[in-house]
Amino acid sequence: MKKGITEEIEDVLLDVLKERVRQLGKFGHQRHKNPGVWLAILGEEFGEVCQAAGPVMGLGTGKPTDADDLYTELIQVAAVAVAWAEQIAEERGQTNVKP
């Protein structure tokens, strides 16, 4: 049976949550005073999205890369964005999480 749009959104957000938890386990509770650090992390992940999207668009560079799954790379970008948003929410006092 075909899923509805809400269920599809839930599935993708669940994958983002799983990736966020994976990143938390791998890198710990990351907080950066300099937003440039977050930009570098997000930029690196966005670069992998571009690498994975290249062949889909017929624009492969031939450069070897591990970033070959566009869905996975997009989920990773979203999870990094969530981590940065968590920090901003903490700084604004919008969460109960202690830095």
Taking the least distance from each CB to Mg ion, the nearer of 51 and 87 is 51
Which spans of this chain sit near Mg ion (rule: CB under 5 A)?
45, 48, 73, 76
CB-CB contact of 45 with 73 (8 Å): yes
Closest CA to 75 of 21, 6, 7: 21
Taking the least distance from each CB to Mg ion, the nearer of 21 and 97 is 21
Q: How far is the CB of 79 from Mg ion (least distance, A)?
A: 9
Q: Which DSSP state fits 3?
A: P
Q: Which two tokens stand for residue 34?
A: 């300099």
Taking the least distance from each CB to Mg ion, the nearer of 53 and 90 is 53
Q: How far is the CB of 87 from Mg ion (least distance, A)?
A: 20
